[in-house]
């Protein structure tokens, strides 16, 4: 089926749901998460609550464009997306309304939700340093800052500075080091690159395993996905690569979220809040961890995931993720100034 046909069908479903009473028996979900395991997550919500989910999945940019065009008539109840930087962009466009939920406030640590309740983090991802096991010792790389050491000249692979993951990492660096030192860091890493930035996180891991470079930075779930793959060739990539949690003796590993907020014009507000509360339930939290290799945002929950277990408990950056959003423009300027690409 073509994309146009799928879009048409989804639009038709929305038109139908809009025509129905706004009775909170259904929920219109706009999502830029694209993980297969999320299917089970949504199905379970419907099983528990009887609330049917009409889902529109598209890229972040396409969703934002659509929501802008729909304006006050948007049928969207909830926007789900990854990275605090993207949630911040949606917040800046005035998409969200504040939610006060004692349950969400109790379940989600304060630094993983927007201070006014405009959006909430539901799962955690951290940028690990990944290295070729035969060529690098983990102890040589205690921090993100150590990537600028001249010994890594020509040995680092990185993705582009337009990647929201790198923008948010820079947002954290700015907050901890100040803009001048953060720019020096970007310059130092750029000077150590083995090649121009390109590809996604998985591509960086493949490049390290293939010997094109010795080091990179990746979100943990890309590594875990390879390590837990059913394909031997993917497991082989993970076997060649070691990963470490940086900055354990300083500000902690950079942590970002996947999250969601209730839309300003949500026709089914009550259902939308129920959905957010469901995402913070033990069951939904386990889906994130076991299905997509993300850490639960809820503290102390036991999860079954051998790769995350092997990484162990770690010191997380305590910065409120909303700061990563606020620092996006400054982060982009720094990457541009050093011509990171
Ligand atoms: Fe990702």
Q: What's the gap in Å between 201 CA and the centre of ligand 1? A: 8
Q: Is the dihedral of CA 36, 41, 46, 52 positive or negative?
A: negative
Q: What's the gap in Å between 28 CA and the centre of ligand 1? A: 23
Radius of gyration of the chain (CA): 20
| pLDDT at residue number 215 | 97
Nearest CA to 199 out of 157, 169, 233, 241 is that of 157
Domain boundaries, the chain: 3-124+256-310, 126-253+322-337
Q: What's the gap in Å between 318 CA and the centre of ligand 1? A: 21
Q: What is the DSSP code (8-state) at residue 162?
A: T
pLDDT tens-place string over residues 146-190? 999 999 999 999 999 999 999 999 999 999 999 999 999 999 999
CATH of segment(s) 3-124+256-310: 3.40.190.10
Q: What's the gap in Å between 73 CA and the centre of ligand 1? A: 30
Q: What's the gap in Å between 164 CA and the centre of ligand 1? A: 9
Q: What's the gap in Å between 218 CA and the centre of ligand 1? A: 9
In the structure encoding, which two tokens stand for residue 215, read together? 């080091």
pLDDT tens-place string over residues 292-322? 999 999 999 999 999 999 999 999 999 999 9
| pLDDT at residue number 10 | 53
Q: What's the gap in Å between 22 CA and the centre of ligand 1? A: 34
Name which of 4-18, 80-94, 110-124, 189-203 the model is least confident about: 4-18
Neighbour-count burial of 3, counting CB atoms closer than 10 A to its CB (0-12 exposed, 13-18 middle, 19+ buried): exposed
Residue 82's DSSP bridge partners are 258
| pLDDT at residue number 324 | 95
Kindly report the length of the chain.
Answer: 341
Q: What's the gap in Å between 127 CA and the centre of ligand 1? A: 11
Residue 215's DSSP bridge partners are 131, 156
Classify domain 126-253+322-337 by CATH architecture: 3-Layer(aba) Sandwich (3.40)
Neighbour-count burial of 109, counting CB atoms closer than 10 A to its CB (0-12 exposed, 13-18 middle, 19+ buried): middle
Do 3-124+256-310 and 126-253+322-337 agree at the fold level? Answer: yes
pLDDT tens-place string over residues 14-44? 544 444 347 789 999 999 987 777 888 899 9
| pLDDT at residue number 21 | 40
């Amino acid at each position: 089926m073509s994309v146009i046909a799928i879009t048409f069908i989804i639009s038709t479903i929305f038109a139908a749901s809009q025509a129905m009473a706004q009775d909170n028996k259904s929920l219109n979900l706009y999502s830029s998460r694209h993980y297969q395991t999320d299917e089970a997550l949504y199905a379970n919500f419907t099983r528990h609550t009887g609330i049917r989910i009409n889902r529109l999945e598209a890229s972040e940019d396409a969703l934002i464009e659509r929501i802008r065009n729909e304006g006050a008539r948007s049928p969207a109840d909830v926007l789900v997306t990854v990275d605090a930087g993207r949630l911040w962009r949606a917040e800046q466009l005035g998409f969200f309304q504040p939610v006060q939920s004692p349950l969400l406030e109790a379940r989600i640590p304060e630094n993983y939700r927007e201070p006014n309740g405009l959006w909430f983090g539901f799962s955690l991802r951290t940028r690990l340093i990944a290295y070729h096991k035969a060529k690098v010792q983990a102890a040589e790389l205690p921090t993100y800052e150590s990537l600028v050491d001249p010994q890594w000249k020509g040995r680092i692979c990185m993705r582009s500075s337009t990647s929201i993951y790198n923008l948010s990492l820079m947002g954290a660096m700015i907050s901890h080091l100040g803009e001048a030192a953060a720019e020096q860091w970007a310059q130092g890493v750029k000077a150590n690159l083995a090649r121009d930035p390109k590809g996604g996180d998985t591509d960086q891991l493949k490049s390290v395993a293939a010997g094109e470079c010795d080091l990179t930075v990746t979100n943990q779930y890309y590594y875990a996905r390879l390590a837990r793959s059913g394909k031997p060739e993917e497991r082989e990539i993970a076997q060649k690569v070691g990963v470490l949690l940086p900055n354990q003796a300083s500000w902690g590993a950079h942590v970002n979220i996947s999250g969601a907020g209730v839309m300003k014009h949500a026709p089914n507000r009550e259902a939308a809040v129920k959905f957010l509360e469901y995402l913070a339930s033990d069951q939904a939290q386990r889906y994130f961890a076991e299905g997509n290799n993300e850490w639960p945002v809820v503290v102390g929950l036991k999860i079954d995931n051998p790769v995350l277990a092997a990484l162990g408990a770690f010191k997380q950056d305590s910065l409120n993720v909303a700061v990563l959003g606020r620092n996006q423009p400054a982060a982009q300027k720094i990457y541009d100034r050093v011509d990171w690409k």
